[in-house]
A = this chain, B = another copy of it.
């Protein structure tokens, strides 16, 4: 078992690298679906905007939904401003950030073999509030540009009061695992003769027709940096593309 101090020393700038496997991130159930590769973990993280973060305060776990973004092996997210929680985040607190995508319902011939197709990534580390003004302003531009590359410079600047009212939390990924199921029905051999419908019902998250703000100035068109968010496109593909454009511009 690798201790936490040792894992902190691991270099993670090699994209072909893997996260260390410890008792914290080892995939135990259906471990053949698991991976510790950076590429596998990052691809799940980058395909999503919504994550869930687990923290513990006074022995009570909280599972908080929020928006996350990634720069290298660092994750950022907007914090719940519940002040009691924030005080503990200031000194750093263990956290687990998870992103999951549902890809399909799997209907088998037995209850036991019913399943879902999905992609998920669990990331472990120490969550800390980003307090330093320069790092915070960079992160506040990052959350816009990571989803809509180049957009932050087209907006009016962030005010000091807004920066103060926003909580940004950062976490270096110390350990992580990705888990994927992407296949058809897996029934027991003796069950294939059972006369019931079985199959996969795919599920995908797609983009709808944009609803422009009714108060848009005349002549303002939708900019090219939103081209990936076209009606009918998959959200995961648009978010992945935006991340690549963002990383290219860093």
User: Residues of A at under 8 Å CB distance from B?
Assistant: 23-24, 28-29, 49-50, 52-56, 59-65, 67, 80-84, 94-98, 100, 102, 104-105, 107-112, 114, 116, 118, 120, 122, 124, 140-141, 143-144, 147-148, 151-152, 154-156, 158-159, 162, 165-166, 184-185, 187, 191-217, 220-223, 226, 229, 235
CB of A220 within 8 A of CB of B204, answer no
| Chain B hits for A98, CB < 8 A | 52, 63-65
CB of A202 within 8 A of CB of B208, answer yes
**Chain B residue at smallest Cβ distance from A148:** B107
| Chain B hits for A53, CB < 8 A | 63
CB of A49 within 8 A of CB of B105, answer yes
Given A203-B206, A222-B197, A143–B63 Cβ distance below 8 Å? Answer: no
| Chain B hits for A49, CB < 8 A | 102, 105, 116
Given A63-B122, A82-B29, A144-B111, A213–B201 Cβ distance below 8 Å? Answer: no
